[in-house]
Homo-oligomer: A and B are copies of this chain.
Amino acid sequence: MLELDYTNILDTAVGAAHGIPKIAFEKMDSSSKHLIADLETARAAGNLGFADVPFDDETTLAVARFAKDRAFPAVLVIGIGGSALGPAALDAALGRPNSGKRLVVLDNIDPDFVRDTLDTLVPEDTIVNVIAKSGVTAETMSTFGVVHRWMTGALGGRAKEHFAVTTDPEKGDLLQIARQEKYPVFAIPPNVGGRFSVLTPVGTLPAALLGLNVHELMEGAKRAAIQSQKPFLENPAMAAAFIQFVLERDRQKKMLVLFPYSQALWKFAFWFKQLWGESLGKKVDRRGRDVYYGQTPTAALGVTDQHSQLQLFIEGPNDKSFLLWAVREFRDPVSIEHAFATFDSMAYLQNKTMAELFQAERQATEIALTEASRPNATVWMDRINEDSMGELFMFSQYLTAYAGELYDINAFDQPGVEYGKKLTFALMGRDGFSEYNRKIDDIRKRDRAVIK
């Protein structure tokens, strides 16, 4: 069971200037009732699509059945943003190097990256999962074009058997192409946005193709969904949202450091980074006022970044809130038995385990942050498996949705990136975007300031 330890968020731990008094949590227990009710109303009306996803047993079963017959050693995902970060996070947490299966994600159009990535793949051994909610994403469609040619060039007519598409069930070019080419199609529910789609076939199809147990993933997600509708003091997602909201707004913690103490959760941190940044980074609130909200998420890895970012976290400006993820049990604690016990720097490690050292360093960092008055909370998991990852994803999604309620913004759109997409189309000469070329021409005429 996931737990939220917020001891080091309290003013008793980090002082009144940086912490939250315990009484604020008790007050929130009563004043939060309407927020929990509002979110449940939104869900019942079909406006909180992600929350219902794990309860769709039929889709989970269809995904698992489909994957069972596909014995491809390489799973190539073509997608970007939510269509890449979810599958990558699942693989990093649950994939094993010697499973005989590997995930490769083409989530960038850097041409050298595309070329190098294809050079590591054998068409015959690869299943390609093209993922795009809209079915028109420039990066995904161009990469699909290149990969389709690569696959067809190698396998001819048999190439068809190496593609599966995940997209909107009703619209978009990718859906039409899949129908034309007779590719299997998996649906992203129309009321689920990209960054909230990890538990739809966006995440579950690659996971199942890698041999992971998607039923257990959904069990954990269901549990977290149910827990996230409970009253405040039994609801870690709501409590975590409240903490970040207060720290950002009233304690000037303008950054949220996502700090997993688990290598398995490193890519999960990048998934969360999109979830938090894109959901809460908003110019206008629901009343239409200009607010320019958004706590900036940044990722740090325990213990690795103790030797990179921790100096800044401890001695730099006290402008960050820390969210640690900790795991109680590892698959193998790894004994440290060595031949160098006569050396001071190795003697104390003899007959200990890597797990002990890892946990000691996590605890030391927690204490050091707290002593430096840096507010930090820890999300605890017993272990990393399908069940706990499903729980963690759903917890994170509810946490973000609750934060959206507290800020009173729309957590489910991303209007700020449309302008750049239109400029790209204009630059690429796509029909219908010529008005943007005037702006581009103006900019090209400007003198550049360059030092070389």
Contact = CB atoms under 8 A, between A and B. Distances in A.
Contacts of A330: 110-112
B294 A1 contact: no
Given A119-B97, A145-B337, A292 B277 contact: no
B236 A452 contact: yes
B320 A296 contact: yes
A298 B277 CA distance: 13
A173 interface: yes
Q: How large is the interface on A (under 10, 10 to 19, 20 to 34, 35 or more residues)?
A: 35 or more
A288 interface: no
Interface in A1-25: 1-7, 9-10, 13, 22, 25
Contacts of A332: 111-112, 115
Given A112-B331, A317-B254, A357 B149 contact: no
A33 interface: no
Contact of A277 (B306, B309, B358): B309
A240 B280 CA distance: 31
Interface in A184-208: 194-195
A113 B263 contact: yes
B308 A277 contact: yes
A61 interface: no
A5 B270 CA distance: 29
A445 interface: no
A71 interface: no
Given A317-B293, A349-B141, A423 B368 contact: yes
Interface stretch (A35-43, A45-53, A77-85, A211-219): A77-85
A446 interface: yes
27 contacts: A3-B452, A6-B449, A7-B448, A81-B308, A97-B119, A107-B304, A108-B304, A136-B345, A138-B345, A142-B336, A145-B338, A173-B340, A173-B346, A235-B451, A236-B451, A254-B254, A270-B308, A277-B309, A278-B309, A281-B312, A357-B428, A360-B424, A360-B428, A363-B427, A363-B440, A364-B421, A367-B443
A-B pairs, 7 with minimum CB distance: A81-B307, A281-B312, A294-B316, A145-B338, A364-B423, A136-B345, A113-B263
Given A81-B307, A143-B354, 16 more contacts: A22-B449, A25-B449, A110-B264, A137-B307, A138-B349, A138-B357, A139-B307, A141-B349, A142-B354, A173-B340, A173-B344, A176-B343, A277-B311, A313-B416, A360-B428, A361-B424
